[in-house]
Amino acid sequence: MKNKYLLLFLVTFNLVSCLSFNKLGSTTYIKANDEFILGNNVHGKFHVSVTNISNFEVIIWQYPNDGGKHSPMTLKPSQRAQINVDKNTSLRFENHSNEEVAVKLEVKGDIGLSMGYKK
């Protein structure tokens, strides 16, 4: 009987541990007049919770890897948004100000995402 409970505990612990690997958090800084690109590679769907923690607007676009762009969003200072992103689609966080901006990102789902800057 003890072995069954131990086995159940170990299986449950492993499942919960693996679930936590499917998320990542980051505070990302974007230089003046630059862009941060998340997911410009082959990947599955993911979900992003983003908070603008700077004093300037950040513009967010979705770019499918096969071309085009859609779903523009302007994130004002202190504003938070939830974004569902399709597979093989990147998010671009554009900073059009002359000052550095920062966003807090919480990503769930496929987290095998490339990350980089346009410049």
pLDDT tens digits, one per residue of 38-74: 999 999 999 999 999 999 999 999 999 999 999 999 9
Which CATH number covers residue 90?
Answer: 2.60.120.380
Q: What number of residues does the chain have? A: 119
Q: Is residue 62 part of a domain?
A: yes
Q: Are 38 and 105 in contact (CB under 8 A)?
A: yes
- Domain holding 58, by residue range, is 24-117
102 within some domain: yes
Report the number of distinct structural domains present in the chain.
1
Tell whether 47 is covered by a domain: yes
Q: Are 110 and 46 in contact (CB under 8 A)?
A: yes
Q: Is 9 contained in some domain?
A: no
The pLDDT > 70 percentage for the chain reads 82
Given CA atoms 67, 69, 70, 76 in this order, what sign does their dihedral have? positive
